[in-house]
Chains A and B, each alone.
Chain A
Amino acid sequence: MTAESKTRRIAVVNRKEVVDAVGEGLRGDILDLGIGSVEGVRHVRLYALHGALSAAELDRITSGLLTDPVTQEHLEIADAGLPVAPGEWGVEVWFRPGVTDAVGETALKGSRDLGVAGIESVDTGRGYILAGPLIRSQVDTICRRLLANDVIERYACYEGGQ
């Protein structure tokens, strides 16, 4: 049986007991922006795997390549589907088309080295989950000033529980 070619989105996050240094650093930078209502930032590594993958192959890539099982865990998500609780904001940052994605290229090669022939390409992105009473204009400011560089990246932000 051949699997159908489609896009699977994988989110990789630190396990709860592991310090999220990137998130903590960003929280400080957001406070520097003068946005004091931010209470926490969690950093998520995002991968979009394009191709015809069986469940076993998907697991081989996510568990064997994209995730460090000691410090991280992963989950498959939908488009705009970061695990955002009500009152939190999710932000996704992806490269604009044509911008070199070196990590994506390396993940593609790694997947093929694992024997997954059906994989066609890998895109990488970054996700952020912002906690605290924030309004959209503040989240936009955070995105423009800290999280995304409009020259090479596009971003989307959405409120949890909507």
Chain B
Amino acid sequence: MTFEADDTVETFSLLKATDDEMTRLSRDGMLALNLEEMRSIRQHFSALGRDPTDVEMETLAQTWSEHCKHKVFNGVIDYVSGRKTERIDNLFARTIRKATEDIRRTQGPNDRCVSVFVDNAGIIEFDEDFHLVFKVETHNHPSALDPYGGANTGIGGVIRDPLGTGLGGKPIFNTDVFCFAPPDFPYDDLPEGVLHPKRVFKGVVAGVRDYGNRMGIPTVNGAILFDERYLGNPLVYCGTAAIIPVDRCEKSAEPGDLVVTIGGRTGRDGIHGATFSSIELTDASESTATQAVQIGNPIEEKKILDVLMQARDRGLYRNITDCGAGGFSSAIGEMGEDTGAEVHLEKAPLKYGGLKPWEIFLSESQERMILAVPPEHIESLRDLCASEDVEASVIGEFTGDRRLRVTHKPDAGESRITVADLDMEFLHKGVPRIVRTARWEPPDHPEPPADRRPGPAQSLVRLLSSWNVASKEWVVRQYDHEVQGGSVLKPLQGARNDGPGDAAVVRPVLSSDRGVIIANGINPSYGDIDPYWMAASAIDEALRQITCVGGRIDRTALLDNFCWGNPDKPDRLAALVRAAKACYDIAVAYGTPFISGKDSFYNEFSDGERTIAIPPTLLISAICVMDDVGKAVSMDVKAPGNSIYVVGRTGDELGGSRYYRMLGFIGRNAPTVDVTAGSGTMNRLHAAMSQGLVAACHDCSEGGLAVAAAEMAFAGGYGMALDLDAVPRDPEVDRDDTVLFSESNSRFVVEVPGGREAEFEAQMEGSPFGRVGTVSGEECLRVRGLGGDEIVSTELSILKEAWQRPLRW
């Protein structure tokens, strides 16, 4: 069935427009172009002596959007801190990318990066036959409007990223991290136009579940965080890893290759997605943004995947990318950047009639991929697509003139008109760089008074029941984490498969013991004190989790995903600068390169009276290649009589901790990172694991040592008897609650088999460690305080129930 387009092409009267008129044109057209950008466009077209068409304006707006060009990260920032001003020319190049460059140079022959920051996803080495592809995206704004569809297309979109990397990777697992307002948020306090967080939560989980499960890709890892400031802007991070044959990582379109779209048809859905995500939400967004909502179809995407894997191995195409934000305009514009391309819009298959040319070119209809196909292979590709019930259409060709030309045949007639003719150089390099000021003013949050803290046992139970710490089993159980058969260490672990694993281990090639570890670090709470230490802690947390299950930090790569408020505001931008600086410092010191990443700004909600910005939120995803999955270690205690060690130093670092939040405070001392000590600890622990000296290992993160120990105990079904005085700590740490709940980085709780303590201690020489107790036969957690008294004596069933109850929906 074919449908007719609406042939209307309008011209923007730009050449004679005043500044006010240009501002209005941008706002009314939802172009999200600022005045300086409008002036650049006017100047460009003045030289050409004509006004731009709507297709050209829309294409420029999409390509120049924050979403696509990362203008903040690539711009010029004057960073003011105290009396000092530092000019940062391209924050991304000087922090994230520089970290990777410096690490690769230092590693020399041991560099394991294959492709970083250039393709749709990062690629690192896996084994002789395959490389590993990994990408994490965000889909925040669409998920705020339609949680199910937004999350659905979030996961669908990120699956297409590895699929559009190199010549196409085969997805092996998904990871999903969400940030919501607390599910018990009062209905009566809900601003107009905002969906209740519980509804957002349920819709997002269902959306991710339905797409991942139906695609046959296991969801093995994730995290869910809660803070009231996510009320108007929930965050939905979706990630996908894939394997790709080592000889299928290079791609380039050649002049004469055909532009082929395969998969779904083009409709009006998702128009203006990229520019929409570069604008703050208001209570009117719900209806004005109707078209920005996309609905996913996982069955369609599964068919595309099946076709592409065959076409890739038969060498039927030379280049591939997915249609994401900006649709055809971005995909073809980027693919043809070095050659040029001509697109014939009337050949694009439509879902229904009445689409204008610019709508066809900009539509973000889901489940579409663009291929560059040599003409001699087109018939083979068509036959292959037909055999899998996938629609394939030639919609143009790659040229050699470095122009993006879009043509159309009105009224289904013979005459062809040009509706856009853009210079690739101007399209991709013409956007003016922004100059912004960032101003850092350290906050001062009071500490909670000592006499207003509940007892340790009561605090532990309350912490286990807090939204952030509580079991996420209700969510995990909806995801298929077994499909494809390669999951070794799964999200839920322990005697009853209900303990919280630190990281997942997947064996993507079933004939090999080599595995992939996936972990994530995220803790926006520390950012209220200092975003520098928030970012540093996120990296440390991700690497701790990798270490916990048996991974090595020198085989680990990182992804960064920044979700921020409005970076035009100096305080938000200063937070970004500080977090990015920490990314450089900590990643270089640990030797873990960034291979890909993404940013999402303008996560602020305004209902006319107040503006709520999300807390600066950095997700660090870590991926590690493990030689032998048989050496993986889970977090549940294994046997009575084994010894329990705490490894790593505990400091007075309760600032931003779950414990202080529970008391209604933020505090002053956010956890810092000592990389020299941290990497020493992680490397020694890895060596101990390789020798079979570790029965269980769990990292100390939210809720500190007490929560980590409790989780290990009730996951394994055995109690523990611990003595806080044996915990290695700073001299000034003299309170039980500090030892129990401080969230100092680079710390682990380790179970060592009875009789092998001396070997373990010899192996850990050089790192702070203490033998703090034993696994007991009774189902009770006992803790002796610094003063020698028993301060916790709680049945495991009480602890576990407290932890499971909140999200048992």
Contacts and interface: CB of A to CB of B under 8 A. Distances in A.
Contacts of B149: 152
A149 B297 contact: no
Contacts of A106: 297, 299
A145 B202 CA distance: 13
Nearest to A145: B196
B146 A152 contact: yes
A152 B290 contact: yes
Interface in B272-316: 286-287, 289-290, 293-300
Given A29-B199, A100-B267, 11 more contacts: A34-B187, A96-B290, A100-B269, A102-B296, A102-B298, A105-B297, A145-B196, A151-B145, A151-B289, A152-B149, A152-B293
Contacts of B286: 150-151
Contact of B809 (A25, A102, A105, A150): A25
B300 A151 contact: no
Contacts of A146: 199
A127 B146 CA distance: 19
A105 B809 CA distance: 32
B295 A102 contact: yes
A151 B142 CA distance: 11
A33 interface: yes
B268 interface: yes
A124 to B, nearest CB: 12
Interface in A88-114: 96, 98-102, 105-106
A118 B297 CA distance: 24
A32 interface: yes
Interface string A131-155: 0000000000000011001111000
B300 A102 contact: yes
Task: Name A's interface SS.
Answer: loop
B63 interface: no
Interface string B129-159: 0000000000000000110110000000000
Contacts of A29: 198-199
A105 B296 CA distance: 12
Given A145-B196, A146-B199, A100 B295 contact: yes
Q: Interface size bucket, A side?
A: 20 to 34
A99 B809 CA distance: 30
A145 B146 contact: no
A100 B297 contact: yes
Contact of A99 (B293, B298, B299): B293
A151 B143 CA distance: 12
Interface string B175-190: 0000000000001000
B352 interface: yes
Nearest to A150: B286
B293 A33 contact: no
Given A29-B198, A34-B187, A145-B199, A98 B146 contact: no
Contacts of A34: 187
Interface in B62-100: none
Interface string B189-230: 000000110110000000000000000000000000000000
A20 to B, nearest CB: 16
A28 interface: yes
A151 B290 contact: yes
9 contacts: A29-B198, A100-B351, A106-B297, A145-B187, A145-B199, A149-B146, A151-B145, A151-B287, A152-B146
B306 to A, nearest CB: 16
A66 B75 CA distance: 54
A152 B195 CA distance: 14
Q: Interface size bucket, B side?
A: 20 to 34
Contacts of B267: 98, 100
Q: Pick from A29, A34, A98 the residue with the most CB of B within 10 Å.
A: A98
A149 B286 CA distance: 10
B127 to A, nearest CB: 37
Nearest to B152: A102
B366 interface: yes
A146 B148 CA distance: 12
A102 B269 CA distance: 13
Nearest to A95: B295
Contacts of A152: 146, 149, 290, 293, 295
Contacts of A96: 290
Interface in A64-93: none
Contacts of A33: 187
Contacts of B289: 151
B268 A151 contact: no
Interface in A1-57: 25, 28-29, 32-34
Nearest to A102: B297
Contacts of B296: 102
Contacts of B146: 149, 151-152
A122 B149 CA distance: 19
Contacts of A101: 295
Contact of B366 (A100, A105, A151): A100
A102 B263 CA distance: 13
Contacts of B366: 100
Contacts of B295: 99-102, 152
A161 B273 CA distance: 45
Nearest to B214: A102
A5 to B, nearest CB: 16
A145 B186 CA distance: 13
A151 B293 contact: yes
Contacts of B187: 33-34, 145
A99 B287 contact: no
The 10 closest A-B pairs by CB, nearest first: A102-B297, A100-B295, A151-B145, A149-B146, A151-B290, A152-B293, A152-B146, A151-B286, A151-B146, A100-B269
B145 A98 contact: no
A56 B617 CA distance: 57
Contacts of B300: 102
Interface in B105-137: none
A20 B612 CA distance: 39
A100 B352 CA distance: 11
A29 B201 CA distance: 12
A33 B198 CA distance: 11
Contacts of A145: 187, 196, 199
Interface in B750-796: none
A52 to B, nearest CB: 17
Contacts of B268: 98
Q: Pick from A28, A34, A100, A106 the residue with the most CB of B within 10 Å.
A: A100
